[in-house]
Amino acid sequence: MSAVAITALILQYRYWILIPLTFIEGPIIGFIVGALSRMGYFDPFLAFSIFIARDMLMDVAWYYAGSHGSKTRFAAWMLRKARIQEKDLHAVRILWETHGLRTMFVAKLSYGISQLFLAVAGVVKFPLPKFLKYAIIVALIEYGGLFLFGYYVGGAFNSFADLLSNIQWAVAILALVIAVYYVFTHFMRRKAIEEEEEVQ
């Protein structure tokens, strides 16, 4: 879905469409809603709260899927998908215990397999209070950064019509944000793998 199409949907349905869209392209939506908040289409605090609440709800759901289904076929599938074997679970738990915040960064920013990483935290019985603390810190940094960047980029345009007339610049900025986002997540994932190998 193009940035123009996403923006049109957001403007038509406002707050009602934010949650469904965050399941499709969370980072992109955060950037766009930040820009539209600067233009007055959203209350920035309410919109940002929706992103954080949705993110925390999903993180807890995946944690419980792992902790309550640790002996099920579903859990076995998750471990295989995350390339974690039964013998590695102790090392994974140590990784969460010793580098919790960094591991949460990798878990939440690993595009496509984020849910698996979060569920594995439940499988290894990482304490829920610590899990929630790290999850909200990362959510605030992730969405806060994208939202604020969109908010200040939105200040460069006087109106939504102005934004659309210069959409090539908006898309170029968005592409840069996404590229930096994925390079950063790749780097964090590599660091986590190296640390896990050291623990083993």
Per-residue pLDDT of the chain (200 residues; tens, 9 = 90+): 555 676 677 777 777 777 777 776 667 788 778 888 888 888 989 988 988 988 899 899 989 888 887 666 776 777 777 677 777 777 878 888 888 888 888 878 776 677 888 888 888 889 999 999 999 999 898 888 888 888 887 666 666 556 655 656 666 666 676 677 667 666 666 665 555 555 55
Sign of the torsion formed by the C-alpha atoms of 75, 79, 85 and 87: negative
Query: What is the rounded CA–CA span in Å between residue 136 and residue 130?
Result: 10
CB proximity list for 138: less than 8 A, separation 6 or greater: 101, 104, 105, 108, 109
Choose among 77, 22, 74: nearest CA to 52.
Answer: 22
HEC profile of 79-100:
HHHCCCCHHHHHHHHHHHHHCH
Domain spans, the chain? 3-199
Choose among 49, 10, 28, 20: nearest CA to 153.
Answer: 28
pTM of the model: 0.72
**What is the chain's Cα-based Rg?**
18
